Amino acid sequence: MAVLYTGTDATHFQTDKPLIHCPLIKPVPRSFDDREIQVVFEDVLKYTHIIFTSKNTIPVFCDFVNCAGFELTQVKSTIIAIGKVTAHGCEEAGLKVDIVAKEEHQEGVIEELQWLDLEDAYFFLPRSSKSRPVIENYLIRRRIRYQVCDIYDTVTNTPDKLPNLDEVDEIVFTSPSTVLAFLQIFSAIPKDKKLTSVGPITAAALTTGVHDGTEN
């Protein structure tokens, strides 16, 4: 029997079983022609902190930095990653990561922020349009200056050939979006499989029946 991995990147997932990678979601970048996006990226060298809450954000961010007329090496902000996979993606792109959240969700990022001197800080949150506003609300409560920008949409990716679930005994969900996509494609979550979720927000989507597609 095999493991079905539904996220976009299975590189860092370890298993002794055969792995079937079938990404059920895909990031679709928004257009840099959007003036609201342009304005936010015109300030990219002014941000003191940049938070990445998904690895999928990184290539779009890097592309938009170039579209704004800057080099990635000019970005000197404190880089904060939601977890090890996102941190690795930042490093691969050439972004030095300063802080990695120990708990891989937005609440974990907030826990790291508690220890920082954020006087005069200016945060940037590039993100999916389905991201939860947890960090944004935290910055508002603390009256910390920030910019938030939805730079891509997460959509369901229906493969040309669906995996045979009879050959699978474990399914890995990496975000509530993968739970939603699975339901859209297969109609129901199998009860005879081991269900592995990445992070408590994804686990909640599986156990509570709240599948709104929001992300970690």
In DSSP notation, 31-84 reads PTT-HHHHHHHHTTTT-SEEEE--TTHHHHHHHHHHHTT--GGG--SEEEESSH
Is 213's pLDDT higher than 90? no
Same domain assignment for residues 15 and 35 = no
Is 64's pLDDT higher than 80? yes
Q: Is residue 214 very low, low, confident or very high in pLDDT (cuts 50, 70, 90)?
A: low
| Amino acid, res. 1 | M
Last residue of a domain, one of 108, 132, 151: 151
pTM beyond 0.85: yes
Order of strands across the sheet that contains 168-173: 19-21, 2-5, 168-173, 194-197
Burial 177-201 (b: 16+ CB within 10 A, else e): bbbbbbbeeeeebeeeeebbbbbeb
Mean model confidence pLDDT for the chain:
93
Same domain assignment for residues 64 and 131 = yes
Select from 163, 156, 173 the least CA-distant residue to 207.
173
CB atoms inside a 10 Å sphere around CB 2: 15
Q: Is residue 199 very low, low, confident or very high in pLDDT (cuts 50, 70, 90)?
A: confident
Return d(Cα 43, Cα 202) in angstroms, integer. 33
pLDDT value of residue 216 = 60
Same domain assignment for residues 67 and 127 = yes
> Residues with Cβ < 8 Å from 204, sequence gap 6 or more?
176, 210
Same domain assignment for residues 82 and 127 = yes
Same domain assignment for residues 42 and 126 = yes
Region of 199 on the Ramachandran plot (φ > 0 left; ψ -120 to 50 alpha; else beta): left
Please compute the mean of the pLDDT values over residues 115-123 and round it to a whole number: 94
Same domain assignment for residues 162 and 83 = no
**Inter-residue contact 106 to 137 (CB < 8 Å):** no
Same domain assignment for residues 68 and 109 = yes
Same domain assignment for residues 193 and 132 = no
Q: Provide the CATH number for the domain around residue 117.
A: 3.40.50.10090
Question: What's the gap between Cα 43 and its chain centre?
Answer: 22
Range of the domain at 128: 31-151
Q: What's the structural domain count of the chain?
A: 2
Q: Burial, 171: exposed, middle or buried (Cβ in 10 Å; 0-12, 13-18, 19+)?
A: buried
Same domain assignment for residues 125 and 42 = yes
* Angle, helix 35-42 to helix 57-67, in steps of 10 degrees: 80
Is 209's pLDDT higher than 70? no
Q: Is residue 200 very low, low, confident or very high in pLDDT (cuts 50, 70, 90)?
A: confident
First-to-last C-alpha distance (Å) of the chain: 29
pLDDT value of residue 24 = 95
% residues pLDDT > 90 (the chain): 83
Q: Burial, 96: exposed, middle or buried (Cβ in 10 Å; 0-12, 13-18, 19+)?
A: exposed
pLDDT value of residue 212 = 47
pLDDT digits (tens, 9 = 90+) for 9-56: 888 888 999 999 999 999 999 999 999 999 999 999 999 999 999 999
pLDDT value of residue 211 = 46
